[in-house]
């Protein structure tokens, strides 16, 4: 447990985890609450099953990881665990959806062309940094670490 929580009072992980959490959280809120143009959990579960054959339990894990997980990340609670889980979600997104469209995002909204995986690589960069550094300044990980 000490290794998972281990972090310093460094400000860089704070910037990385809050930034990453704020970017991914709206995607989770689309899925869990149906806000920001999302369709909510039942639609997400049904469509992911139909489009990619993803079982409902896996879809729910993604929904929870992108919503509750990102709240935890912003707070610095279980930073390494949540970051690793997000990495798994990104691998799944590349493998199932975005990899077939190549590297680049669809910047010009070309019809019939999806988004590439460049965004996911940026997310991986942040994940790797957080796996190495932990939650950093003002993280709950740091507070719990001090009590161990």
The low-confidence residues of the chain, meaning pLDDT below 50, are: none
Distance CA 145, CA 148 (A): 5
Residue carrying the six token digits 């049904």: 46
pLDDT per residue as tens digits for the range 70-81: 999 999 999 999
The answer to whether the predicted template modeling score (pTM) of the entire model surpasses 0.85 is yes
């Amino acid at each position: 447990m000490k290794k998972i929580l281990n972090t310093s009072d460094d400000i860089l992980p704070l910037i990385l985890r809050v930034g990453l959490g704020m970017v991914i959280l709206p995607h989770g809120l689309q899925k869990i609450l149906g806000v920001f143009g999302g369709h909510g959990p039942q639609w997400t579960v049904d469509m992911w099953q139909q489009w990619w054959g993803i079982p409902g339990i896996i879809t729910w894990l993604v929904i929870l990881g992108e919503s509750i997980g990102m709240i935890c990340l912003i707070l610095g609670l279980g930073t390494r665990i949540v970051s690793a889980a997000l990495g798994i979600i990104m691998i799944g997104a590349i493998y199932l959806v975005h990899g077939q469209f190549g590297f680049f995002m669809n910047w010009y909204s070309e019809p019939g062309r999806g988004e590439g995986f460049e965004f996911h690589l940026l997310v991986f960069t942040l994940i790797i940094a957080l796996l190495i550094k932990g939650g950093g300044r003002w993280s709950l990980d740091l507070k719990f670490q001090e009590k161990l």
